C-alpha cells in the first residue's frame, strides 16, 4: 500500500479519512436541508426565530443553537472516529503493512467490525448530544412534549445519516479488505448472519422514518387544530365583548366564564392595566406566554403561544374599562402530552409488528442463502453422488440464484465425472508413454540373460552327453562323476540367477503397465522401490551415459503403504526429467537420496543441470506444462503431484537455482505410512 500518496488533483485521502469526510458531508447536507424547516416542524411561534425576542428570552438565536448542536454532534463523532475507532486503520494506511504496528489480521478484524460499531454509535451518541441540547434555551422548559419532539426529530435525522455513513464506510473499506485478502475465510470472530445485518440496517432506518412521519403528522395536527381553536375563540370574544360596556375586571371574568368552551381544559384570564393577571384555574401564565402577549400578539392579530415547541396557544382581546386598557384571553392546549403519548404508543405497537415481520423475512432470506452456502461447501467436501438440488421457493433474485446453483451442481457433477475419466485416460497415456521409453530397455535387459541361459543350456547339454557316454566307461571313476555333477550345478545356478533377474524385470514392467482401475494399495518396503527403479531406469541411464547415485540413509525395510507402481512412476518421471535436464551432456550424476526428517520420509532426486526457469517453476504443480516440446505431455509432474497428494497424503517440493541444478523432494508423512 502506498504511503503519503499524491496525485495531480491534490493530496490523496486515505479510506478512514474518506469515511469521516463522508459522515461530515452527509450530516452537513441533512442539517442544511433541516435548518429552514425544523422550526416549522416543531411549531415555533412566529416572531421568535432569530429575533431579539428569542435572544432576550433564551440567550441564543435559533441559528446559533442549531449550529452549536451541529458542532457538538460532529465533534463527538469525528474525535471518536479518528482517535479511537479508526486508530488502527489510520496507522496501517499511513505506514503500510510492513511498518504498521498492527498485523494484517488485526486490521481486517477492525475493517469488518468498524462500520457496524460506527453505525451503532451514530444512533447512541445522539441521545447524549440531545441530553445536552435539552438544557439549552431552545427547549428550556419542563421535559414535556417539546423535549420529546426535539429528541425524536434529531434522532430521526441522525439515524438517517448513520445509515448513509454505514453504506459509505462498507464500500470505502472494501478495497483494503480485497488487498489484504490471502485466505479463503473471514478474518475475525464468528461471522454475523445476513438477517442480523438486515435488521441492524433496516430497523433503525424504519424507526427514523416512522418517527419523522409521527412528528410531521403531529405538527400538521397542531397547526390545523390551532387554527380552528384560534378562529373559534376570536369570534367568541368578538361577539361577547364588542357590544358591551364593562366597569371592572370582575365583569370581564364573569363574561369569560359564560363563553362556550370547546374543551374543559381551556381556561381564560384577565390582565389589568397594571399587568396583574387573574386566571380561571389559578395557574399563572408562563413567562414566555406573558412576554409574547405584550410584545408580539398585536403583530399576529391577538394570537399567543406558550413556548417553543409546546402546543398550547391562546387568543387575546384588548378591552377598555373606565378608560384603562384591559386584556381578556383564552388559553387552550391543542394536543397535549396525552395525544403525543397516544401517537407514540401506537407507533411502538406498529413498530413491534413490523420489526417481527422484518426479522422473520430477513431470517428466511438468510436461511435460503445459508442453504446455498452449505450446498457450495458440499461441492467442496463431498462426492458428486451426494449432491442434492435445492428446491426453488421464490421467483426473485434468490430464486434465480438457486436455479444457477442447481445448474452449477449439474455441471460440477458432469465435470467431476469427466475429470475422473480424463484423469484415467491421461494417466494411462503417461504410463504408455513411459512404457514406450522402456521397450528398448526391456529388450536390452532381457537379451543378455536370455543369451546366458541359452549358453548354459548348451553347456548342460554337453555335460549330459558326456555323463551319458561315461556310464559304461571303466576309466571314469567316481571323482569324474562328481566333477560332472558339480559343473552341471554351476550351470543351473547361473540359469537360476538369470531367470530371477528376468522375473524382476518382468515384475517391474508389469507394475508400470497396470491400468489405474487396477491400482491396489499394499504394503511394501523402500528397498523394493529402489530395486525396481534401478531396473527400470538402467537402460535409459546407460544410453544417456548418466550415473544414478542411490543414497539410502534410512532402514531399507521401512514399510510404505499405498500404490507401489504409482510411487515408482513418480520417481522414474523425476529421474527422466533430470536426465533430460543435462541436454545431452554425458558423464553426469543424478542423486537419489532417501532419508527421514522428523515424521516424514523424504525421497530426493537431484541433478546438477542448468535449473528451471521461474515461469516454469511457478506452474509445475498447478497446470500441465512441459519444456520437451512435442516429446512431452506436461502430465508427468502435474499428475505426480496429484498422485502423492491423493494416495500418500504427501507433498512434492522443488528447489532450483540457475546453473546449480534442481532438487525435487517427495515428502511422505510417516504417520500416514
Residue 201 confidence (pLDDT) above 70:
no
Pick the more confident residue, 486 or 609.
609
Confidence class of residue 608 from pLDDT cuts 50, 70 and 90?
Answer: very high
The reported pLDDT for the residue numbered 187 is 44
Asked whether residue 410 is domain-assigned, the answer is no
Of the candidates 43, 345, 344, the residue with the CA atom closest to the CA atom of residue 222: 43
Q: Is 450 helix (H, G, I), strand (E, B) or coil?
A: helix
Report the alpha-carbon distance of residue 656 to residue 652 in Å, rounded.
Answer: 13
Domain boundary among 314, 340, 366: 340
Q: Is the dihedral of CA 187, 193, 194, 199 positive or negative?
A: negative
The answer on 182 and 287 residing in a single domain is no
Asked whether residue 405 is domain-assigned, the answer is no
The boundaries of the domain holding residue 82 are: 6-191
Gyration radius of the chain's alpha carbons: 48
The answer on 601 and 535 residing in a single domain is yes
Domain boundary among 310, 340, 370: 340
The answer on 231 and 177 residing in a single domain is no
Asked whether residue 494 is domain-assigned, the answer is no
The answer on 324 and 183 residing in a single domain is no
Asked whether residue 361 is domain-assigned, the answer is no
Residue 7 confidence (pLDDT) above 60:
no
The answer on 104 and 41 residing in a single domain is yes
User: What percent of the chain lies above the pLDDT cut of 70?
Assistant: 71
The answer on 586 and 542 residing in a single domain is yes
139-168: pLDDT as tens digits? 444 344 455 666 667 777 777 777 777 777
559's enclosing H/E stretch is: strand 559-562
**Residue 596 — φ and ψ, nearest 5°?**
-110, 135
Among 120-129, 380-389, 414-423, 611-620, the minimum mean pLDDT is found in 380-389
Number of domains, the chain: 3
Among 48-52, 93-97, 193-197, 406-410, the minimum mean pLDDT is found in 193-197
The answer on 274 and 177 residing in a single domain is no
Place of cell 541359452: 454
The answer on 129 and 45 residing in a single domain is yes
Residue 507 confidence (pLDDT) above 70:
no
Asked whether residue 55 is domain-assigned, the answer is yes
The answer on 107 and 41 residing in a single domain is yes
Q: Residue 282, Cα to own-chain centre: how many angstroms? A: 67
Asked whether residue 157 is domain-assigned, the answer is yes
The answer on 231 and 184 residing in a single domain is no
The answer on 545 and 617 residing in a single domain is yes
Residue 478 confidence (pLDDT) above 70:
yes
Among 119-133, 353-367, 626-640, the minimum mean pLDDT is found in 626-640
Q: What are the b/e assignments for 585-622, b being 16+ CB within 10 Å?
A: eeebebbbbbeeeeebbbbbbbbbbbbbeeeeeeebbe
Pick the more confident residue, 498 or 543.
543
Asked whether residue 611 is domain-assigned, the answer is yes
Domain boundary among 170, 191, 212: 191
C-alpha cell at 335: 394536543
Confidence class of residue 193 from pLDDT cuts 50, 70 and 90?
Answer: low
Average pLDDT over residues 56-61: 82
Give CA angle at 600 (597, 601), nearest 5°: 85
Report the alpha-carbon distance of residue 210 to residue 152 in Å, rounded.
Answer: 10
The reported pLDDT for the residue numbered 671 is 62
Rounded to the nearest integer, the mean pLDDT of the chain is: 75
Among 35-44, 49-58, 355-364, 486-495, the minimum mean pLDDT is found in 355-364
Residue 585 has, within 13 A of its CA and on its CB side, a CA count of 11
Average pLDDT over residues 44-57: 87
The reported pLDDT for the residue numbered 311 is 77
Burial label, 49 (beta-carbon count in 10 A; 0-12, 13-18, 19+): middle
Average pLDDT over residues 24-41: 83
C-alpha cell at 214: 409521527
Among 29-38, 382-391, 559-568, the minimum mean pLDDT is found in 382-391
Residue 212 confidence (pLDDT) above 80:
no
Among 292-296, 380-384, 579-583, 605-609, the minimum mean pLDDT is found in 380-384
The reported pLDDT for the residue numbered 211 is 72
Average pLDDT over residues 398-402: 70
Pick the more confident residue, 475 or 344.
475
The answer on 247 and 164 residing in a single domain is no
User: What CATH number is given to the structural domain containing 560?
Assistant: 3.30.565.10
Place of cell 460532529: 74
Asked whether residue 219 is domain-assigned, the answer is no
What is the pTM for the complete model shown?
A: 0.52
105-132: pLDDT as tens digits? 777 777 777 777 777 776 666 656 555 5
User: What CATH number is given to the structural domain containing 237?
Assistant: 3.30.450
Amino acid at each position: 500500500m502506498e504511503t503519503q500518496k499524491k496525485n495531480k488533483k491534490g493530496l490523496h485521502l486515505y479510506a478512514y479519512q474518506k469515511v469521516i469526510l463522508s459522515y461530515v458531508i452527509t450530516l452537513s447536507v441533512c442539517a442544511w436541508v433541516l435548518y429552514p424547516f425544523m422550526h416549522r416542524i416543531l411549531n415555533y411561534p412566529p416572531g421568535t426565530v432569530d429575533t431579539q425576542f428569542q435572544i432576550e428570552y433564551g440567550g441564543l438565536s435559533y441559528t446559533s443553537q442549531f449550529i452549536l448542536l451541529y458542532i457538538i454532534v460532529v465533534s463527538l463523532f469525528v474525535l471518536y472516529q479518528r482517535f479511537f475507532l479508526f486508530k488502527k486503520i489510520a496507522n496501517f494506511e499511513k505506514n503500510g503493512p510492513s511498518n504498521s504496528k498492527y498485523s494484517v489480521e488485526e486490521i481486517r478484524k477492525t475493517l469488518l467490525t468498524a462500520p457496524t460499531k460506527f453505525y451503532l454509535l451514530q444512533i447512541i451518541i445522539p441521545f447524549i448530544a440531545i441530553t445536552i441540547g435539552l438544557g439549552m434555551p431552545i427547549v428550556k422548559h419542563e421535559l414535556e412534549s417539546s423535549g420529546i419532539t426535539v429528541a425524536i426529530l434529531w434522532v430521526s435525522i441522525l439515524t438517517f445519516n448513520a445509515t448513509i455513513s454505514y453504506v459509505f464506510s462498507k464500500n470505502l473499506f472494501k478495497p483494503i479488505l480485497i488487498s489484504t485478502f490471502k485466505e479463503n475465510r473471514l478474518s475475525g470472530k464468528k461471522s454475523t448472519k445476513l438477517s442480523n445485518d438486515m435488521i441492524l440496517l433496516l430497523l433503525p432506518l424504519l424507526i427514523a422514518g416512522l418517527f419523522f412521519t409521527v412528528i410531521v403528522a403531529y405538527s400538521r395536527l397542531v397547526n390545523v387544530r390551532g387554527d380552528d381553536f384560534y378562529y373559534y375563540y376570536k369570534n367568541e370574544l368578538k361577539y361577547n365583548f364588542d357590544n358591551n360596556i364593562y366597569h371592572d375586571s370582575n365583569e370581564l371574568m364573569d363574561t369569560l366564564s359564560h363563553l362556550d368552551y370547546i374543551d374543559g381544559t381551556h381556561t381564560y384570564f384577565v390582565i389589568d392595566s397594571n399587568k396583574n393577571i387573574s386566571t380561571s384555574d389559578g395557574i399563572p401564565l408562563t413567562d414566555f406566554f406573558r412576554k409574547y402577549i405584550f410584545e408580539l400578539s398585536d403583530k399576529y392579530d391577538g394570537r399567543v403561544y406558550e413556548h417553543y415547541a409546546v402546543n398550547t396557544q391562546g387568543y387575546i382581546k384588548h378591552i377598555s374599562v373606565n378608560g384603562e386598557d384591559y386584556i381578556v384571553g383564552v388559553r387552550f392546549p391543542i394536543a397535549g402530552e396525552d395525544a403525543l403519548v397516544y401517537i407514540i404508543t401506537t407507533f411502538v405497537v406498529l413498530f413491534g409488528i413490523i420489526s417481527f415481520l422484518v426479522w422473520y423475512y430477513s431470517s428466511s432470506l438468510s436461511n435460503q442463502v445459508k442453504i446455498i452456502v452449505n450446498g457450495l461447501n458440499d461441492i467442496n467436501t463431498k462426492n458428486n453422488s451426494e449432491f442434492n438440488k435445492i428446491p426453488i421457493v421464490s421467483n426473485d433474485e434468490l430464486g434465480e440464484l438457486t436455479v444457477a446453483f442447481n445448474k452449477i451442481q449439474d455441471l460440477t457433477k458432469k465435470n467431476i465425472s469427466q475429470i475422473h475419466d480424463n484423469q484415467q485416460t491421461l494417466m494411462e497415456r503417461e504410463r504408455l508413454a513411459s512404457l514406450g521409453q522402456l521397450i528398448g530397455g526391456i529388450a536390452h535387459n532381457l537379451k543378455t540373460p536370455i543369451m546366458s541361459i541359452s549358453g548354459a543350456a548348451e553347456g548342460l547339454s554337453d555335460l549330459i552327453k558326456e555323463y551319458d557316454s561315461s556310464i559304461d566307461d571303466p576309466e571314469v571313476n567316481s571323482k569324474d562323476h562328481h566333477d560332472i555333477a558339480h559343473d552341471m550345478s554351476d550351470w543351473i545356478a547361473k540359469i537360476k540367477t538369470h531367470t530371477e533377474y528376468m522375473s524382476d524385470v518382468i515384475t517391474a514392467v508389469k507394475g508400470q503397465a497396470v491400468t489405474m482401475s487396477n491400482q491396489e494399495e499394499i504394503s511394501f518396503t523402500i528397498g523394493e522401490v529402489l530395486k525396481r527403479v534401478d531396473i527400470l531406469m538402467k537402460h535409459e541411464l546407460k544410453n544417456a551415459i548418466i550415473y544414478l547415485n542411490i543414497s539410502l540413509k534410512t532402514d531399507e525395510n521401512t514399510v510404505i503403504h499405498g500404490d507401489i507402481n504409482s510411487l515408482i512412476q513418480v520417481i522414474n518421471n523425476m529421474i527422466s526429467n533430470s536426465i533430460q535436464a543435462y541436454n545431452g551432456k554425458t558423464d553426469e550424476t543424478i542423486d537419489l537420496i532417501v532419508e527421514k526428517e522428523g515424521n516424514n520420509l523424504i525421497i530426493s532426486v537431484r541433478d546438477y543441470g542448468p535449473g528451471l526457469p521461474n515461469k516454469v517453476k511457478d506452474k509445475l504443480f498447478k497446470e500441465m506444462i512441459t519444456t520437451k516440446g512435442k516429446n512431452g505431455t506436461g502430465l508427468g509432474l502435474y499428475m505426480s503431484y496429484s498422485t502423492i497428494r491423493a494416495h500418500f497424503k504427501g507433498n512434492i517440493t522443488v528447489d532450483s537455482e540457475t546453473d546449480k541444478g534442481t532438487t525435487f523432494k517427495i515428502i511422505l508423512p510417516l504417520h500416514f505410512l
